[in-house]
Amino acid sequence: MARFPTLIRALLSLLLVTQPVSVLASDRHSGLSIVDGDTIRVDGERIRLRSEGGPIDAPELRKAKCPLELFRAEAARDRLKALMAPNDFSIDRHGADRYGRTVAVIYAEGRDVGAILVREGHAKPWPTLRRADRPTWCSYDY
């Protein structure tokens, strides 16, 4: 999906951002890279984030369905970068998903990163019932 003009992104940020998002200069810190708002890579291991409360979902960065989802995906990725920046994190593994990624709760400085993303609106709890219940990121009512 093509990048949207800066003006549109600026207008969306005025409407949606409730707190400042720190952006790091680099995606990589000692073997850590941020893939998107709910996936990281640590020393080559792909990890899908969850919270202590269960699976989470962040907006899609590479397959955004609308400009609003892309904006939210970039904000989620940037917030995850900021949370992981101190590089003091631990991984509580919970198996693997259907794509072979490790599913884990990540604790940065002792805090559940997935829960923080959900609490701040950068991710949603993943519904376990039906495909139709999956989160949508293209509406303003979330």
pTM for this structure?
0.74
The H-assigned helical ranges of the chain are 6-16, 67-84, 113-119
Across 37-54, average pLDDT:
95
For residues 20 and 82, give the distance between their C-alpha atoms in angstroms, rounded to a whole number.
11
- The CA-based angle 124-127-132, given to 5 degrees, is 110
pLDDT one-digit tens code per residue, 7-33? 445 444 434 433 333 333 333 346 899
Domains of the chain plus CATH, in order, are 6-13+22-127 (2.40.50.90)
Judging by DSSP bridges, how do beta strands 32-36 and 54-57 pair with one another? unpaired
pLDDT one-digit tens code per residue, 97-123? 999 999 999 999 999 999 999 999 999
